[in-house]
Amino acid sequence: MTVNKISQKLFLIGIFFIAITIANFPMRSVMVVLSDEFSTCILLGMFVFLCQVIHRKKMLLPYNASFDLFLKFVIYCLLSGILLIPQMAAKTYNHQLVLQKFVYYYIFLLIMCMMMIFIYNILHTTPEIYKKITHVFMFGLVLQLVYACIQFLKQIGNTQAINFIALTGPYFGRGIDSMSAYWLKLYGLTEEPSGLANYMVFIFPWLLFAFLQASHSEHHKRIKQGSCFLIFFVMIFVLFFTFSRTAMLSFFLMLFISALIFHSQIMHAFIRKKIQVCISVVAVVSILSIIPSYISSIWDAPVSIDSMVEMTVNSIFSEEGRQSSDSNITRIGGMAASVRIWEDNPIIGCGFGTSRLYMAEYYPDWAKNSSEVVDGLTVVDNISYSYRELTSAVLPRLLAENGALGMMIWLLLWGYMMVHCYKIYPMVDPYKQDILKIIFLMIVAGFILSFNLNYIFSYEYLLFLPIYWDMMDKLADKKPIQ
């Protein structure tokens, strides 16, 4: 097996691990920020790739404007950090220098850049790489959904499911029982329900890509399309029982956007097969209306489904619900703290990766009533310190750490990608137009997740940006995207 093949295999294994979090994986305690199996496989592949680069002295770099903007963002983080050295060197929080935190996080940002360039090289040089990626993603998604459904059977008292989860639970996620740790929520093979819900948002464009590939398949076309539809409806079922508010809103927003950008194909299918479409819609609506009442009748748990649904809906739309939900208070409080940090450092921010050390100081008093915040704060000499990560979101965090200038570069990056997709759309053939629509959905997914993720050090960004760079370069060179 060649060195390039080894790198490709490690990359594919890594993206498979996006769907699975192994609780007792030996590298988790070593990797710290990039502490997941996906990042570990990518780092190993990158090491092999770098050995090949040193030997052959050849490495590909993306040649589109979005890559240039990302590099400008990385350079800006360094320059703003250099300007903030006197301020960061003069401050310590919880016995840790702010400057030390900046250096630590910037090194990880550079590692992330090298990983993204490695992923781009794999994508650009591997034949039919997107078919392979889609197959791996769909296999991981099916495993995720099957395990989540077994967890659901456990929740309603199925003995075989209870025994199966008891046997396998210690090896996945955090290795704990969902009934006690997450109440009645499903978390699948991830660490927590919100992780499963975020995974659903991330994977949805790839499910559409799989359906697109199935539509152009010469063999078993109907079976593949039907499988995609089945997976889609199971996704909605599992997503509902994660009770993750932000992810559910994000997912249905993406559904709405998908309906808008694929409206011509949807209308064409409806006109061609009115009877089949109507029967399918009636069947799905009937099943979805029957399932809740049936589940409620056999649900053997301390809290009813109706109560869980009501609590989830209230936490989104009800003022009283929003004020009483600990996770709402923590997340909104973290965003408010990030904005307060930015108000004191409006131009260049407080330094990349350092906002955590300022978070407790700027946390609003009304948010400190949340049990999650109380558990994460300690007071020493009348000063509040955070000894664990207080939830914020990528965009407010970047605003606090990089100021208005850094946020402008970051938003310009995402805005450019959307505009560029729209600009080249009329210039390509219908198949590539469908691919552009899916790329646009990936951009939307990445932007939406920036309101729900805490770090840019996540597989969503680490994987999406190189995919965008590769697809755009191939479209520019009129190469096939397969």
Computed from CA positions of residues 433, 439, 444, 445, in that sequence, does the dihedral angle turn out positive or negative? Answer: positive
Residue 136 has pLDDT above 80, yes or no: yes
Alpha carbons 197 and 404: distance in angstroms, whole number? 31
- Residue 1, CB half-sphere, CA atoms under 13 Å: how many? 8
**Tens digits of residue pLDDT in 226-280:** 888 889 888 888 888 887 777 777 888 888 888 887 766 555 554 555 555 565 5
Residue in 179, 147, 176 with CA at minimum distance from that of residue 161: 147
Give the model's pLDDT for residue 248: 78
Give the model's pLDDT for residue 21: 63
Give the model's pLDDT for residue 44: 83
Alpha carbons 12 and 122: distance in angstroms, whole number? 10
In three-state secondary structure terms, 428 is coil
* 40 in any annotated domain: no
Tokens of 215: 């539509």
**Tens digits of residue pLDDT in 272-331:** 555 555 655 566 556 555 555 555 555 555 455 555 555 555 555 554 444 445 666 777
* Stretch 199-213: mean pLDDT: 85
**Tens digits of residue pLDDT in 145-155:** 999 888 888 87
* 417 in any annotated domain: no
Higher pLDDT, 170 or 28: 170
Higher pLDDT, 318 or 1: 1
Give the model's pLDDT for residue 73: 94
Alpha carbons 345 and 85: distance in angstroms, whole number? 14
For 102-189, list the strands marked E by DSSP.
none
Residue in 401, 386, 385, 377 with CA at minimum distance from that of residue 457: 401
Q: How does the average pLDDT of the chain come out, rounded?
A: 76
CA distances from 172 to 44, 50, 175 (A): 22, 32, 5
Residue in 241, 266, 284, 79 with CA at minimum distance from that of residue 152: 241
Name the percent of the chain lying above pLDDT 90.
Answer: 12
The kind and range of the H/E element at 138 are helix 129-155
Instruction: Note the pTM of the prediction, 2 decimals.
Output: 0.81
Residue 72: pLDDT band by 50, 70, 90 thresholds? very high
8-state DSSP, 353: T
* Stretch 68-72: mean pLDDT: 93
Give the model's pLDDT for residue 253: 83
Task: Report the helix count and the strand count for the chain, using DSSP H and E.
Answer: 22, 4
Range of the domain at 175: 131-299
**Tens digits of residue pLDDT in 329-372:** 777 778 888 889 999 989 999 999 888 888 777 878 777 766 66
Tokens of 39: 């990042």
**Tens digits of residue pLDDT in 414-465:** 899 888 888 888 888 777 777 888 888 888 887 777 777 777 777 777 788 8
Give the model's pLDDT for residue 268: 53
Q: For tokens 């950090």, what's the residue? A: 81
Residue 108 has pLDDT above 80, yes or no: yes
Q: For tokens 């053939």, what's the residue? A: 429
* 475 in any annotated domain: no
8-state DSSP, 327: H
* 240 in any annotated domain: yes
Tokens of 478: 């009129």
Residue 467 has pLDDT above 50, yes or no: yes
Alpha carbons 449 and 461: distance in angstroms, whole number? 10
Give the model's pLDDT for residue 423: 85
**Tens digits of residue pLDDT in 397-415:** 889 999 999 999 999 998 9
* 270 in any annotated domain: yes
* 76 in any annotated domain: no
* 90 in any annotated domain: no
Evaluate whether 453 touches 460 at the Cβ level (below 8 Å).
yes
Residue 389: pLDDT band by 50, 70, 90 thresholds? low
* 70 in any annotated domain: no
8-state DSSP, 126: S
* Stretch 192-200: mean pLDDT: 82
Residue 375 has pLDDT above 70, yes or no: no
CA Rg, the chain, in Å? Answer: 23
Give the model's pLDDT for residue 264: 62
Give the model's pLDDT for residue 342: 92
Name the percent of the chain lying above pLDDT 70.
Answer: 74
Residue 373: pLDDT band by 50, 70, 90 thresholds? low
Longest alpha-carbon distance in the chain: 73
Residue in 202, 217, 184 with CA at minimum distance from that of residue 144: 202
Report phi then psi at 346, rounded to 5: -70, -30
* Number of structural domains found in the chain: 1
Give the model's pLDDT for residue 66: 92
Lowest mean pLDDT across 12-26, 47-61, 296-310, 466-480:
296-310
Give the model's pLDDT for residue 272: 54
Evaluate whether 15 touches 36 at the Cβ level (below 8 Å).
no
